[in-house]
Chains A and B, each alone.
Chain A
Amino acid sequence: MLPIAALVAASGEDGWSGFWDAVSSPQAVAALKLTLGASLVVAVVNAVLGTITAWVLVRDEFRGKAMMNAVIDLPFALPTIVAGLTLLALYGPRSPIGIDVAYTRAAIVLALMFVTLPFVVRTVQPVLQELDREMEQAAKSLGASEAKTFGRVILPNILPGILSGVALAFAKAVGEFGSLVIITGNLPYKTEVSSVYIFGRIESGDGTAAAAAAVVLLVISFGVLLSIGVIRHVTVRHDRA
């Protein structure tokens, strides 16, 4: 069972030129561009909002904080398809607040934000918790303002946490399928992401094209895993101070 990943790579090679044709087909390229673009946007948004959320959870005290902490894991617990449905309910045609983004690119971003929400929060939280308050106190006693303290003392220390969270979020977003199937309508060239494109190719029996696109996604996944490993490695060196 385990070497499946390796075998996918091999299976993708159903003819090298065939591979290239499949990968560069306009529909595949459009899907890929959309996937990468949306994932990038979501990753950045997550970096900011996720860090803020983690900050509030670690540094702030208020009633209901524990519940807030628990809610964050919802995307881990809820099936992706149900997530898509719930988003559709609030932001789709029968929306009670009048926002209808179904079948648009905004829907993609929305769905991806749902499924990737926990990642940055959960990677930054422990780092923020472990952060030595005395460092900040030292900076303040030396005259640094709140903003400066954050920028020069706190941020560099939580950056590895943010980065690995972003990497994980990006990887999840690129491969996301279930939550997008309903809300985006899967319109080719408009709202079709790579994973949906691949699925479409499989259902039409075009295994080669599907495999080719899959290999591209696989390479991206490996790339992300690698960068997470690198981040971890660099962090360890940092900690020894």
Chain B
Amino acid sequence: MRRLALRLVAIGYLLAILVGPLAIVFWRTFEDGFGSAWEALSDPDTVHAFELTLIITAIAVPVNTVFGIVCGLAIVRRSFPGKGLLNAFIDLPLALSPVVVGLALYLLYGRDGWFGGWLDRHDIQFLFALPSMIVATIFVSLPFVAREVIPTLREIGDEQEQAAHTLGASGWQTFWRITLPSIRWAVVYGVILTTARCLGEYGAVAVVSGRLQGQTETATLRVQEAYESFDVAGAYAISIVLALIAVTVLVLMTVIRPREERA
């Protein structure tokens, strides 16, 4: 009896907060038929917004993947001064408000900022342009690969790597042939999480991009822009696309997680 009660509470909780709202949006979007949704999506500003989102993600994900693997290896396999600090620092983007991140970049690289003068003199447009958006996104999606790789590396231990050394493999050969394959599912899982975060980033990018319509709007920024311009259908349409991507991500996560855990 208690079992059923608990189960209902849990399911109810999830339905009310997660599934219900999402279902409504799906319904609403297609309530007025496919046509209006399609129209909203083929708006040139919207297309540009999606392009921008994809470009940023395409840059941020590989950068953070390499960073995550390098950091993971350094933290688990080496000791060096400041290691504890690095480990704590990796978790920082998770606890920070994205607006604060955006503000930091704004203060650093804005016209009155520390680096602002230098950038101005060299005629480099950082804020209110792509570079700052990329940097912001890299920062907020920093931890994911590292946080998956680190416990996996710890669990695997370094005996396989020692064995490789006795068999004559150099450091690089050992990394490519032994270390990397043994963490591959952790890396894949981390990449999926990182990608989802990049696609969904809003706060930090909102601050540094200036939200210039048609120029520095990502898909997420566009959703809000559309809603505030009373283009509710448009906002919903973009949301649906993002939601579908999110569901795909969820499916991938569910499929990959057991492989990651088994390794």
Q: Which residue of A lies closest to B251 (CB)?
A: A70
Closest to A56 in B: B10
Docked-complex contact A78 and B200, CB < 8 angstroms: yes
Can you report 30 A-B residue pairs in the complex whose CB atoms are below 8 A from each other?
A4-B104, A53-B14, A70-B254, A71-B14, A76-B193, A77-B249, A79-B220, A81-B223, A81-B224, A81-B239, A82-B25, A82-B246, A86-B21, A86-B24, A86-B25, A90-B21, A91-B21, A114-B21, A172-B95, A175-B95, A175-B96, A195-B203, A196-B99, A198-B99, A199-B206, A207-B106, A217-B100, A221-B95, A222-B95, A224-B95
Instruction: Determine the distance from Cα of A228 to Cα of B113 in the docked complex, in whole angstroms.
Output: 33
Residues of chain A within 8 A of B114, CB atoms compared: 7, 11
Asked if residues A85 and B250 are in contact (CB atoms below 8 Å), the reply is no
Q: From known contacts A1-B135, A75-B18, A113-B17, infer whether A82 and B220 are also in contact, taking CB-CB under 8 Å.
A: yes
B54 to chain A, nearest CB (A): 14
Query: Separation in Å of the A141 CB from the closest CB of chain B?
Result: 21
Q: Size range of the interface on B? A: 35 or more
B235 partner residues in chain A, CB cutoff 8 A: 85
* A55–B11 alpha-carbon span in the complex (Å): 12
A-B contact count (CB 8 A): 224
Pick the residue among B21, B88, B112 that contacts A89 (CB under 8 A). Answer: B21
- Which B residues touch A130, using CB under 8 A? none
Shortest Cβ distance from B198 into chain A, in angstroms? 10
Q: How many residues of chain A are within 8 Å of chain B by beta carbon? A: 72
Q: Nearest Cβ distance between residue B262 and chain A, in whole angstroms?
A: 14
Known: A5-B104, A210-B103. A96 touches B250 (CB 8 A): no
Contacts known (A78-B243, A114-B18, A199-B206); A214 close to B99, Cβ less than 8 A: yes
List B residues 9-31 near A (Cβ within 8 Å): 9-11, 13-14, 17-22, 24-25, 28
B24, B92, B199, B227, most chain A CB atoms within 10 A = B24
Contact of B14 among A68, A76, A77 (CB under 8 A): A68
- Which A residues are closer than 8 A to B by beta carbons? 1-2, 4-5, 7-8, 11, 49, 52-53, 55-57, 60, 62, 66, 68-83, 85-87, 89-91, 94, 96, 110, 113-114, 117, 168, 171-172, 174-178, 181-182, 194-196, 198-199, 202, 207, 210-211, 214, 217-218, 221-222, 224-225, 228-229
